[in-house]
Amino acid sequence: MAITSPIAQQKTVFTEQVYARINSVYGNEAKENVAKWRQLINELQSEELDEKLYQINRFFNRFDFVDDLVHWQQKDYWATPIEFISTGAGDCEDYTIAKYFSLIELGIPEAQLRLMYVTALELRQPHMVLAYYETPTSIPLVLDNINRRILPANKRRDLSPIYSFNGSGLWAAKAMGTGRKLRTGGPMKMWDDMVERLDRVMYGDKEE
């Protein structure tokens, strides 16, 4: 079954109840920051693709980078876009996930986006970036929080791809811009848990 986002499913889910839930957990400032994100999404709907990529990359890259162990007291935690915006900080997965959901809302087909695990060669550590593919065989553009310029993957010699995924599957990435599909469905429990938390914020607990 393909992974879907509650945000991607419906663009009008940010009701007063949603903002009330955000306010109750994170406070009024967080609620206002989420509202600014929603305003940006609305403003960018009619813009060209390049502007959408630039503005979304810029919006999220201004947040602080904080390691999961410090920020969430967990070794590895994938924050929802709302958690990321509300706390104003996160790690590379959080930047990438937030950009991914935002661009889907801006009408970019999910098939053109992949969350890509790479090795950041200069830092010698795992890293995640968002890749945008104009066509399935195109060299993707890379949206990153380390190098904030949006560049084609072949210009990012500092990154070595490992694998990538989106809502329709998981790919091995032998070379940047190409990949062999490994399987469909949810690539990992981290993603499923994150989507479930996002669902609860957007729609409330089942018993509500």
Give residue 86's pLDDT: 97
CATH of 10-202, one of 3.40.50.20, 3.30.420.40, 3.40.50.720, 3.10.620.30: 3.10.620.30
Closest C-alpha to 129, from 155, 163, 171: 163
> Could you state, in order of their start, the residue ranges of all structural domains in the chain?
10-202
pLDDT digits (tens, 9 = 90+) for 149-188: 999 999 999 999 988 888 666 555 544 455 555 554 444 6
Bridge-based pairing of strands 125-132 and 64-65 is unpaired
Q: What is the pTM of this model?
A: 0.87
pLDDT surpasses 80 at 137:
yes
Angstrom distance (rounded) from CA 123 to CA 6:
34
pLDDT digits (tens, 9 = 90+) for 65-102: 999 999 999 999 999 999 999 999 999 999 999 999 99
With tokens 């929603």, the residue in question is 38
Q: What is the mean pLDDT of the chain?
A: 86
In 3-state terms, what secondary structure has residue 118? strand
Give residue 184's pLDDT: 46
- 76, 97 Cβ separation under 8 angstroms: no
In 3-state terms, what secondary structure has residue 23? helix
Percent of all residues in the chain with a pLDDT value above 70, rounded to a whole number: 81
